[in-house]
Structure 1
Amino acid sequence: MNQLKLRFLKNQLIEQKAGFAALIILILFILLAIFAFLVPYDPNAIVQPDRLQPPSAAHWFGTDDLGRDYFARALYGARVSLSVGFMAMAISIVVGTAVGTMSAYFGGWFDNFMMRLVDIFMSIPSFFIMLVLNAYLKPGIATIVIIIGFLSWMNISRIVRAETLSIKEREYVLYARVSGQSVFKIITRHIVPNIMPTIIVAATINIAGAIMMESALSFLGLGVQQPNSSWGSMLNNAQGFIGEAPYLALFPGLFILLTVLSFNFLGDVFRAAFEPKINQR
C-alpha cells in the first residue's frame, strides 16, 4: 500500500466521522481485550453471595447468576469473539484469495469447475452446515474458527476472481508469464499485491460476519463452553434473567452491535478510499 493510498485512506477517515468513530471503538475494544488481565477480578471465580448484583462502583457491569464479575467476563469474552473473528477471517481470506486468483488465472474448464463448486457451497445454508459440523466436532475455539473460516470464503473468491480477470491481462503480468516466471510467483508478486485493497475491504466485512456467526453459535450453546465466556455465550446465559437482571443481555449485546457496525463502517471507508484508485489502474 503506497503513500498515495494511505493519504486517500486518511482523508476518508477525516471526512467520514462514522468511520473515524468506528476505528476508535475497535481500537478501544482491542486494547481492552489485550489488557483484560489488569481487571482485579477472576472472570471465572464463583461468589454466590454476590450473585445478580446490579452495576455499581465495585462491579461496573454488575455480576451474573454465579456472582462472577460481569465486566471481567465481558473483557475476556472480547478476547474470544475478536480472536475468532480475526482468525476465521484470515482462513477465509487465504482460501478465497487462492481459489479466486487461480480460477481466474487458469481460466477455461478449471475456472468453470471452481465457480460451479463455489455456487454449490453458496447454495447450502452455511449456518446449517455449521450446526451439523459443530455437533460432530469437539466444541472449542479452534473448532469454531475452522468451521467459520472454511464456510465464509466463497464471496471473497468471487470478488478476487473478478479483480484477477482484469489484472492478469495487464502488460506486467503478460511479461512475467513470457519471461518464464512460475505461476506461484506471478500470482503472489504481481496479482495479489495489486488486488490487496479489494482484499482488505473484503476482510473487514468478513470479520464482522465471523463475529456474528460465533455469537450465534455461542448463543445456541454450541460455541465457547463454560466456564469460558464470549459475547454470544453471555447472551445465552442472560436469557433466563431478562426480567430480573436485564443488564446481563445489555452489555454483550451492545458490544456485539458496536463491533459489527464498526467493522462495516470501516469497510465502507476502505472501499471509498481504494475504489477510485482501483478504477484508475
Structure 2
Amino acid sequence: MSTPPAPPQAELFDRPFSFYPPIHGIEHNEWRLKEATWSEMLVRNTAADIEVAIPRRYFGAVSETDKPVMIVGLKQELEYRMGTVWPVRKPVLAMPAPVMAPPPVERSETSPGEPRGLAAVLGISQERTDTRITRMIVWTFVGLASLLIVVWAVIRFTPATKPSFVARDQSYLELTRDDDYYAVIRKLGPPAEDRWRPNSGELQYRALFYPDRGYAIILMGAKQDEARYIGAMGLGADGKGWSPLHSIDYARGANTMGILRSLPRF
C-alpha cells in the first residue's frame, strides 16, 4: 500500500486559514492547525470552542498566498455533526407517482323516448330532429340534380363552335402592298391556278391559287399587269373554303379586310 503524503502542517502551523468549501454546521470559518498525524489533522475554530479531527484524505490544495487569508481546499463538502465531520450527502428527490386516471363512470341507459344527440342539446324531440335532417338531405339531392340538368342543357343545346382554318404555312405574311404578280412568284413560286376577274368594275381582281399551301393570293388593280397584293384567302381543309387570312393597310390607314370579306370566290 502506498504511503499517503505528509499533511501540510509546515504551511499551516501558527497561521489562520479558512476551508473551501466551508464546513456545514459551523458559522465562523477561521481555523488553526493544532495537531497533525499521518491520517488526520486536528483543527480548532478561532471563534467557537470547537476542535475537530479531519481525515487527511479530505484535504486538497493550499492557496499560494495568505492575503487576506490562507485557503485550504477540501475535496468534498463536509458537515459538522455530533463532534465530528461527515461527508455531505445531497438528498435524491423522488419523482412523484403518476396520477391514476379516475375509473370510468357508468352511463345509465336512456329510455327509448328520451331525446339523444342533437335533439338533447336543442331540447326538441327525436322524431322532429330526424324529420328536419331528412328534409335537408332531400333538398340537397334535389339541388344537385337541378344543377346537373342545367349543365347538361347548356352543353347539349349550345351550338358547337367551328374551329377557324389555319393555313399550312404563313409565307403570305412576307407579302406587302407593293408586291405584284412577279414579286409573288419570286416569294411563293408559280401558282397552281391563275384566275382573273375582269368584269368587276373599275378595279380588277386576280387570284393565284396555292392549294398545297391552303390559300389563294389576291391581287387588285385597274389593269392585270398593275394589280398589287391586297391579302390572302384561306381555302379550308377541303380546298373549298373562302375566308380572309391576311389583309394590308394602305398609306392613309385604310385596310383591305372589308374588300376581302365582300369578295366572292371566282
The TM-score normalised by the length of structure 1 is 0.20
Higher relative contact order (CA 8 A, sep 6+): 1
Q: Which has the larger radius of gyration?
A: 2
> Which of the pair is proportionally richer in helix?
1
